[in-house]
Chain A
Amino acid sequence: MNMLILFIIIPIVMLPALWACRKEAQVRAVMVTGSTLLLLLSAWLTVDFISCRNAGNNDIMLYTASWPWYEKLNIALSVGVDGISVAMLLLTSVIVFTGVFASWRIRPMAKEFFLWYTLLSVGVYGFFVSTDLFTMFMFYETALIPMYLLIGVWGSGKKEYSAMKLTLMLMGGSAFLLMGILGIYFGSGATTMNIHEIAAMNNIPTATQYIFFPLTFIGFGVLGALFPFHTWSPDGHASAPTSVSMLHAGVLMKLGGYGCFRIAMYLMPQAASDLAWIFIILTTISVVYGALSAISQTDLKYINAYSSVSHCGLVLFAILMMTKTACTGAILQMLSHGLMTALFFAIIGMIYGRTHTRDIKQMRGLMKIMPFLAVGYVIAGLANLGLPGFSGFVAEMTVFAGAFEVNDTFHRTVTIIACTSIVITAVYILRVVGRILYGEPENEEHKKLSDATWDERFTIICLVICVAAIGIAPMWVSSLIADGTGNVLANMFP
C-alpha cells in the first residue's frame, strides 16, 4: 500500500463518517481522530523521507505509484513526493489539525461545516501528493468549491459578495490554468500527463511556452495573490470564518506558489527565464504595495490579508529568482507564512468572537482583558515582522540572500525594494499592537470579556511551537526543502 494515497483516503473516509454522526460530540471525535491521524502520517512521512534520503535514495520523487484512470488522454492518478511536497503536507496537516480546534464551537450546522472543511482538505492533500497534471487540476478545483459554501454560509459581514468574488476570481484563474495545462500536454506531444515525464522530455517548443507560461503562471498566481489579481484576498479573508481563513491563507494560497513552481516554471523553463522579468516586477509591486496598503487599514482581517499579499508576493518573487537558495527560501516562506498567518487569523477570529468588532479604533487595552490572546497576538506579530527565533526570519533571510545571488542591476534593484518590506511590516504590526492591545481598556462592555478557552489555547500553542521550531532549528527543514528545489532547478537548467 502506498503511503501517500492514505492522505487522500483518510479524509474521504471521514466524509461518510461525518455524515453518519448525530451529535456534535461525535463530529468532533471524527474530526480530531482524522486530523490527528493525518498529522501523525505526515510526521512519519517526513521522518521516513529523510531516512530514505540519508540511505542514499536520490530519485526525484519517492513513494511513486500510478493508477491510470482515463487512458485515452493518459490521465492517471500518479502520486509521489519530494522535499517540497513533504514540507507542504506537513504544513497542511498542522493547519487542518489546529483548524479543527479553532472551530471547536462553530455554530450552526457543525456537521455540515466539517463536511465541507474535510472535502476542502481532500483537495489540498490530493494536490500536494499528485504528480499528474490533470489530477492536480482536479484536486485544485475540489479545494475551491467548498470554499464558496464555507464563506457564503458560515462567514460574516458581506459574506455572499465575498464568497462570490473569491470563487469567481479563482475560477477565472482556473480557466487560464486549464488552457495552460492543455497547452503543456499538447505542446509536449500529448503522450503523458505526468509532470516529471514532461519535464524529462523538455520538448515544448519555445513559441508554445511563450503563450502558455504566462497563462499557467497567472492561473496559479491568482491564488498566490499576484498583483493585480489579489483583491479577492482582503474581502474573502475578512468574511471567512476563523478556521477557513486559517486554511485558506495558510494552505490554499500555497497551492498557487507550489503550482507556479512545480508546473509553470518546471515544465516551461525557457519561457520562465525569458519572461520572468514581467512577473518579477508584478511580485515586487505585490510585496511593497501589500505592505503599504496594510498600514492604513482599520479592520484586523484586512490588515492581515494585505500582509498576506505582501508575504505571498515574496514567495512568487523568490521563485522567479531561479536560484536554489531563493527557491528554497520561497518554500520556507510558504511554510512559515502558512503557520504564522494561520496563527494570526486564529487569534483575530478569537478576538472577534468576543468583541464582535474587528475595527482597531474600537478596541483598546486588550492586554489587560485577555492576556493570553494578546500575548499570542504579539508573538504572531513579532513572527510576522521577521524576528529571529521565528520562522519568518529564516524564510526572509534565505529569500533575500538567494535573490542577491543574481548579479545584475535589475535584480539588485528589485531585491532592495523588496527588502524594504521588513520595515513597512514592522510599522503595520506595531501600529495594531500599540493600538488595540496596549493602553487602558475604554469600552465598558469589553472589560467583561473572558480570556481564551482550552481549545483556543491549544490551537495557539500548537502553532506557536511550530513557528518557533522552524525559527530556532531551521537546518532540518531547510535541507529537506533544498533537496527538492535543487532537483527541480537541475532539471530546468541541465
Chain B
Amino acid sequence: MLYKKKLPLLAFLLPGFTLMLVFLYEPFLENIINSFYDMNTFAKMPGQEWKFLGLDNFKKLFSDPKIRIAIINSFKMMGLTIIFQVGIAFVLAVLVSFIKRGQQFFRTVYFFPIVISATAIGLIFKLFYNYNGGMLNQLLKALDRKPVNWLAPDIAFIMVSIPILWSYVGFYFVIMLTGLCDISDDVYEAASIDGCSKFKQVFYITIPLLRGVICTCVTLAVTGALKVFDLPWVIVPKGAPQGVTHFLGTYMYEQTFTIGNIDYGSAIALLIVVFGIVVAQITSRILKPDANL
C-alpha cells in the first residue's frame, strides 16, 4: 500500500467529496425526482404539493418532434466535432510541430478563441450573420449583390456549427501539440535517414504514437458535443429559425427556463446524462485509448 495512514488522505478528500455530493450528486438526484412530478415552480411554496406524473415526461420524449431534432443535431455535432475540431486540430498541430521558429506564436493564435467567452463569440457571429446591416451582407452590398438570410432554415445549422467548431479547435490543437512534443525527435531523424517522407512520417510515426492523445481528444469532443449550449443560444435562441438549430442543451433550457415546463426539462437533462455516459462508454470501447495495439 502506498499510504499506510488513511486519515490525512481522508481529510484532504472529504472537502472535495462533500462539495461534489452537495452541489452535483444531490441536485442530480433531485433532478431525477423532479422529472416524475408536475412542477409549477422551481421551489416548492409552503403548503404546495406537486402532482405525481409517473413516466409521462419520458413518454413525451418519444413523441416530441422537437426533441428528435435536438437529438439528431447533437449527434450530427458529434460527427462534426470529430472531423472538424479534432481533425483540423491534428493537422494544425502536425504542421506547427514541423516548424522550428514561431511555434509559440501559432500556439497563441490558435488557442486564442478559447480565451474569449462563448457569449462574446456568439455575439460576434450574430453580428456577422445579421440580415440588416450584418457584416456578411454589408460585403455583399459592397459587391452589389442582394442580401442573404444567413440564418434561413435550410442553412442555419451549418452557420451555427461554424463558430461552435471553430472556437474549440485551439483546445484540441494545444493538447495534440503537447502530445507531439513527447514523441522523441530521434524517431523522426531515424525515419528521415531511411528516406521516409514527412507525409509518411505522419502516418507511420505520429498517428500511432499519438493514438492515446487522439482518443482522449475524440472522447472529449464527442461528450462535449452533448453539452453544446451557449453559442447556439446566443446566435439563434430557442432553436431559431423554426426549431431547426435545437441541441439537447438548448432544448432543455428552453423547456425549463423559457416555457417553464420544469419537469420536462428535468427529464431532458436526465436524457443528456444518459446519452453522455452511453456515448463515452461506446467511444472508449471502440477506441480503447489505453490498449497497446
| B partners with A | no
